[in-house]
Amino acid sequence: MSSSSSSSSSKSSSSYPRDVAVRVLTRVLSDHMQLEDALAGVSGEVTPEARGWLQEVCSGTLRWKGRLDFVIDSNALKKKPSGWLRKILLISAYQLVVQERANPSRVVSETVNEVKRKEGEAPSKFANALLRKIAEHALTWRNLELQSNMLPAQMASWASLPAWLWNKLEKQQGREWASLYATASLERPKLWLRSKKPELFKDYCELGPIPEAFQVSGQPPAGPVPQWPGFQDGLFFVQDISSQMLVHGIAEEIRKTHPGQITALDLCAAPGGKSVGMAWTGMKVTSSDLVPARLELLRQTVERVAPAIRVVAKTEVQNLPEQDLVWVDAPCTGTGILRRHPDVRWLKQEADLLTLKPLQEEVFKEGWNKVKSGGYLAYSVCSVLEEEGPRRVEKIGLDAAFKGQVVKTWFMLPQTAPHGDGFWCALIRKP
């Protein structure tokens, strides 16, 4: 069933937030635009009250899209909807299957009315019948377990992952590992803060597994995080627990051989969480980023939370002295942060592994050249794929010019405590 052309309407697009949501999904899935940019592009078309709804349904639909495709196709046996119609059905299926507070009758009614307005009478009847079938068994679809007799494509849909990623994870880590990773990646990300002022959060945060880490668990202040007390004063910043634990672990490891002040260079620093974390451990930090446009974001973070950090352009890095620690958080596929960035599931392709390979090796070697003798390079990726983590370091280690020693590795996973982002990191000492 294909989508027909849009019908004209005298009403503003703010009257049809579902149509706006469809356009956001189209920009991500068809135009390969990042979700953040797609949402920013339509922010003026919806009321302020509807923006939260728009972000939630678009993020959630992208996070669960594979499973929702499976649900729709399992209930639409004769004709598979496509185009605009399929996208609005995906949004509604997300609300019915995943959103516990959504009113099923209202979801179906609003969707049917919008389909009738855009597509006509027959498609609206199809949507009505399909969504009612989905709503009737919503809990079953949400809690659907992986079946051993599923075809590989069905397993990927169950996991809400592109087939190439599911197949690769199953091959590298096994089906049970891949299914646990997929299930964890369907959850909403937890909000973690780092602060030296625990009294700020006693009413709505729980203490984390390391000092200065706080998980938002209760009822936080109203409004976005930048409006919370203490934010503009630089008393806290947002950083996932996995990143906080990496900073903490690396600092502890380096102090075994460097008990004095440690000089550190963060090469891929934006938006600045790692740099600030290192500075808060007492390191003397210089920060830069590969992307010039991200330097301003980095500067804003540093000025607010850790103004002693020196921010330099990439062209200035070559003139810096050698450092005790250089951290390279290399560009990667982002397979460890699918909860936080659900669009990554559908924007990244298997071919990106080859495209990113030379860049990862380049920034590794650039960082290595800035490490003092006896100093350390931390190489990390927010990826769970072996090609971007251990295999990349192993390959670089075969280079005769490279004589570093891996002293410790970390593999943080969304499916294991404390259930943060996925990261792989190696700490390598230079002779």
What's residue 15's pLDDT? Answer: 67
Query: CA 322 from chain center: how many Å?
Result: 32
pLDDT greater than 80 at residue 6: no
Q: Which residue has the higher pLDDT, 254 or 222?
A: 254
Q: Does domain 239-429 have CATH number 3.40.50.150?
A: yes
Q: Cβ(291)–Cβ(297) under 8 Å?
A: no
Distances (CA, A) of 208 to 7, 212, 215, 409, 412: 52, 8, 6, 21, 15
Considering only 3-17, 194-208, 322-336, 404-418, which range has the smallest mean pLDDT?
A: 3-17
Instruction: Read off the pLDDT of residues 141-157 as tens digits, 9 standing for 90 and up.
Output: 999 999 999 999 999 99
Residue 11 has pLDDT above 60, yes or no: no
Query: pLDDT value at position 385?
Result: 98
For residues 335-360, give the mean pLDDT: 97
CA distance 104 to 95: 8
pLDDT in tens, 356-403: 999 999 999 999 999 999 999 999 999 999 999 999 999 988 776 788
Residue 2 has pLDDT above 60, yes or no: no
pLDDT tens column, 161-181 = 999 999 999 999 999 999 999
Gap between the Cα atoms of 17 and 30, Å rounded: 19
Domain boundaries, the chain: 13-144, 239-429
pLDDT digits (tens, 9 = 90+) for 61-105: 999 999 999 999 999 988 899 999 999 999 999 999 999 999 999
Give the span between the Cα atoms of 111 and 152, in whole angstroms: 32
pLDDT of residue 129: 97
Cα 68 to Cα 18, 144, 268, distances in angstroms? 17, 11, 36
**Dihedral sign for Cα atoms in the order 410, 182, 28, 341:** negative
Task: Give the Å distances, CA to CA, from 81 to 90, 153, 213.
Answer: 10, 19, 46
Distances (CA, A) of 194 to 222, 230, 306: 19, 12, 13
Q: What percent of the chain has pLDDT over 90?
A: 91
Strand locations in 199-270 (E): 205-207, 213-216, 236-238, 263-266
Average pLDDT over residues 244-252: 98
Burial of 172 (0-12, 13-18, 19+ CB in 10 A): middle
> Residue 21: pLDDT band by 50, 70, 90 thresholds?
very high
* Two tokens, residue 312: 């330099």
Q: Which residues of 385-415 are buried (b: 16+ CB within 10 A; e: fewer)?
A: bbbbbeebbeebeeeeeeebeeeeebebbbb
Residue 10's SS3 state is coil
Displacement of CA 122 from its chain's centroid (Å): 39
Q: State the CATH class of domain 13-144.
A: mainly alpha
Please give the average per-residue pLDDT across 329-336, as a whole number.
Answer: 98
pLDDT of residue 98: 98
The answer to pTM > 0.85 is: yes
249-287 per-position pLDDT tens digit: 999 999 999 999 999 999 999 999 999 999 999 999 999
Q: What percent of the chain has pLDDT over 70?
A: 96
